[in-house]
Structure 1
C-alpha cells in the first residue's frame, strides 16, 4: 500500500489566513508515519497581532514567537520537509489558504503544491455525528491528543487518512481520493492558470 503524503496543520494568530504562528508536519510512507516536525512562526508584518480568541484556542502568545523567524525565513524549511508529497489537511481550504496568504504577505511566490482533505475522506469513511478532527481521529483510533497543537493535529490527520486507506483497500492516495469522491487539489501559478483556461472568456468591455 503506497500511501505516501505529508499531513500539515497550521495555527494562526488572528483571523487573517496570513497570520500563521505554528505548523505541524507528519510524513507518511507506505501508510506509516516516518517523520515529524513542528515549530513556531512569527507571522508576517501586518498580520502579527495575536487576538484573544485565537490565543484561547491554541495557547500561543505574541511573546512565544517573538524570537522566532518570520514566515519568509521558514518557507523553504516547510517545503523541504514536504518535498514532492501531497499535503493533507483536515478542512484543506483553511491550511491551503494559510500557505497561499502567508507567502503573498511575505512577498514570496505561492508554491506549487498538491492537496487532499482528510475531512472529506472521513465523511466518506465513517458514520459520525460530527467530523471535527477530534471525533474523526477517535474513529481512526487516535485519541486523547491535544487538539489545536499543530503537531498533534497533523498526526491526527495522518492517522485518519492511513486508517481510511486500509479500510477502503486503497492502493495510493489518489485511489483513496477517488473512492471518497474527492480529488487532489492544486495550489500555485499552474493551478490558477488552469482555472482561468477553464473559465469562459469574457469581453473586455461591458455595455
Structure 2
C-alpha cells in the first residue's frame, strides 16, 4: 500500500502548471507543449477577455466553441494588473487543443493559443481562418470545463494586482453540449488536492 501510495503521489507531483497570461489582446505564451495531467492557468489582464476552447477543422469554422465538452471562462474585466482569480484547466491527454478569446474581434485579430500543435493543427493555420471573420462566438451560460482559483503570483513579473469582475466563479467538467467541443481537456476541480489528501490519509 505504501509503495502504491508514493507512486501515485509522485505521479501527481510530476504534473506542471503552465501559466498563460491574457494581456494586450494576446495569450502569452500562445504555442504550448504540455503533457497529460498538466494544468493551464489562465491569468487575466486588462481590459476584458475570455478563454474558450475551439476545435481544429470544425464545421462551424474558427472562433467558435467546440461542439462537445471543452472549456469557457466567461468574460473577465480587469482595470489594471492581473485579476486575483485565474481559470485553471487540466489536460487529460496530449491531443492538439486550440483556445481563443471570444470578446468582440479579439479572435479574428489573432488572440488564439494552441497546445501541442502538430500537422495541420497549428496556430498559424487557425489564425489564418480566424482572420476571415468579423467576431468570435461565445458559449451560452456559465463557465465550464475549468475552475476559478486564487492566481499563482509566483509567475508575476511585478507585484501589481488588478481588480476584476467575472461572469462566473466556478465551472464544472461537463460543458454545455449546445455550445462546447470535442473536449479533450477536462478539469479536476480541486481533484489533485483531494486525491493526494486521501492517499496520504490511507498511508498513515
**Scaled by the length of structure 1, what TM-score is found?**
0.23
Task: Select the structure that is richer in strand.
Answer: 2
**Scaled by the length of structure 2, what TM-score is found?**
0.23
Task: Select the structure that is richer in helix.
Answer: 1
